[in-house]
Amino acid sequence: MKVNKIDWKNSSILVTGGTGSFGKKFTEIILNEYNPRRLAIFSRDELKQSEMKKKFPDGENSPMRYFLGDVRDGNRLKRAFNGVDIVVHAAALKQVPATEADPFEAVQTNIMGTKNVIESAIDSGVSRVICLSTDKAVNPINLYGATKLVAEKLTIQANAYSGDRQSIFSCCRYGNVVGSRGSVVPIFKEQKQKGEITITDERMTRFWITLDQGVRFVIMCLENMKGGELFIPKIPSTKITDVAKAIAPKSKLKTIGIRPGEKLHETLISSDETRQVFEYEDHYVIEPSYHTWGYYRHKNGKKIKEDFTYTSENSLWELDINQIKELLNSDENS
């Protein structure tokens, strides 16, 4: 299948879960820099949509559109996908403790919701679908990570289901987003006021990416996807204790123990995935194991050695406290 270059100005784009941190930043950048014909926000919270409309109104001369709906509802998705060229699938239940406590709900949204997005996209003739994933999908130990792993597998194999139709599917996988809802950053900032920061384990490390970087990475993936690949950015890691010290240097650190489903370190590429990995200047691409839809592909990338792993513990790019402060400032100013 030949993949055409994106004509952004004539494209109709839809973002599932579009009222979240990612969706709002994506909307800002796409409207300001790409001027699409239409940008639709699909989400289930009418209050968040009404608040978002204040900044991005959907008047007569605006490209903005808003759809109330849930990815669990396939019929509603098909109606919303009518005439859409590009879908960014960002909707998910992502709070680890919440998904551990209510696993059926996470499965309904993260797995069955992704299945509905795929089937609705194929049936509606959507050209490109990209699914946002997480480092927690690699060797998962919590339900959130497990559901995102399944969502990745469904999305990649959707290229076989689309057959000779025009829809292509890919994923992007990255680490913690600085300042997003549920991130440790706003929690530490709030705890700073009390003079005590809670750390689950002093050895813990995490990958980090700003919202601006995350959105621009997804846009790059959309522009370069051929269908079936999984994109991973080259991003820094930090010790959680250093993040706490950067945010609240005068606060006391209190270790409270690892929560259910929490890892000491995260992985963006496992050793078992490296046989399909190609390296580029600022990202990696994992090609699919099964090329059942028939062509390939990222010939300009450098093949990675099979003993390679990409973890927050042994990352080649670890930030010190001053660099963490710069990262936090860049996120606040973006």
- Determine the pLDDT at residue 260: 81
Question: Which token pair is 280?
Answer: 């580029």
Catalytic residues: 136
- Determine the pLDDT at residue 3: 62
Is 3.30.565.10 the CATH classification of the domain at 8-174+211-233+268-310?
Answer: no
- Determine the pLDDT at residue 87: 98
Measured CA to CA in angstroms, residue 28 lies from 24, 31, 189, 313, 329 at distances of: 6, 6, 25, 33, 19
Measured CA to CA in angstroms, residue 296 lies from 220, 279, 289, 314 at distances of: 19, 16, 12, 31
Place of tokens 């919303």: 80
Q: Which residues contact 67 (CB under 8 A, 6 or more apart)?
A: 14, 40, 41, 42, 43, 76, 80
- Look up residue 39 and give its amino acid: L
Question: Which token pair is 53?
Answer: 């409309």
Each domain of the chain, given as residue ranges in start order, spans: 8-174+211-233+268-310
Q: How far apart are CA 182 and CA 190, in angstroms?
A: 12
Question: Which token pair is 32?
Answer: 């300001």
- Determine the pLDDT at residue 237: 95
Instruction: Annotate 11-26 with three-state secondary structure.
Output: CEEEEECCCCHHHHHH
- Determine the pLDDT at residue 285: 95
Burial state string for 311-332 with b = 16 or more CB within 10 A and e = fewer than 16: bbbebeeebebeebbebbeebe
- Look up residue 215 and give its amino acid: V
- Determine the pLDDT at residue 84: 98
Residues of the chain with pLDDT under 50: 1
- Determine the pLDDT at residue 268: 96
Q: Give the residue from 177, 189, 169, 173 showing the smallest Cα distance to 128.
A: 169
Q: What is the DSSP letter of 272?
A: G
Measured CA to CA in angstroms, residue 93 lies from 10, 69, 142, 255 at distances of: 32, 15, 13, 27
Tell how strand 64-68 and strand 38-43 pair up: parallel
